[in-house]
Amino acid sequence: MAMFSDQIRTMDDLFVHQLEDVYYAEHQIEKALPEMMEKATDAELKRGFKTHLAETKRQIKRLDQVFKKLGQDPKGTECPAIDGIIEEANDVAGEIEDKDVLNAALIAAAQAVEHYEITRYGTLVAWAKQLGRKDVATLLTETLKEEVATDKKLTLMAKKSANPKAAGKAPPRRSPARGGASRGGAKSDKSNGRRGRAAA
């Protein structure tokens, strides 16, 4: 988002630009979710991504309504933030072979997306109210509530299942060698040597 664009002169301009930002983001998320769903090996996580995909499609339609209410044509503005989040998620997922660790990573990636959306929609709701557009704020609040609910579901899924399973894949810690055993062995050698010299 070009925060200091010459095209942004008023709060209304800033609001529309932020809408375009999140509109672009939702479309990128819509493209990314099927791949995340395919990579997930946990059935509950797959269902969660499928539900989120359907939710994202509804949210895009809701944004279309917002643009219409503002007398604007729906369009997106390239958003490096969401592109970076999705790219990083793909890079990390591509390096993980263990399915349980992968599921934990996918949930973390999905939550990074959710937190981005929660921040954006929270700002948009506040701005819409400030600009006196309660009709728009109502629509955006619906989406914000959905994002918060999805984030909570992902947190619960991570705590109850994904993270414990992934943690179980950690290599076992090596028990440190007991110093007493080696010291005892050394003493034994010395005492044997003394006995040998005494016998001689």
pLDDT digits (tens, 9 = 90+) for 127-141: 999 999 999 999 999
Q: Which helix (H) or strand (E) holds 29?
A: helix 11-39
pLDDT digits (tens, 9 = 90+) for 97-127: 999 999 999 999 999 999 999 999 999 999 9
What are the angstrom distances between the C-alpha of 75 and each of 32, 64, 147?
Answer: 19, 9, 21
Residue 46's pLDDT band (cuts 50, 70, 90): very high
Specify the residue for token string 């990314």.
Answer: 32
Residue of 123, 145, 150 lying closest to 62 (CA atoms): 145
* pTM for the model: 0.79
Residue of 89, 149, 94 lying closest to 117 (CA atoms): 149
pLDDT on residue 182? 44
Greatest CA separation found in the chain?
108
CATH (residue range 11-167): 1.20.1260.10
Residue 79 and residue 69: Cα distance in Å, rounded? 23
Residue 188's pLDDT band (cuts 50, 70, 90): very low
The sign of the torsion formed by the CA atoms of 125, 130, 133, 134 equals positive
pLDDT digits (tens, 9 = 90+) for 57-99: 999 999 999 999 999 999 999 999 999 999 998 888 888 999 9
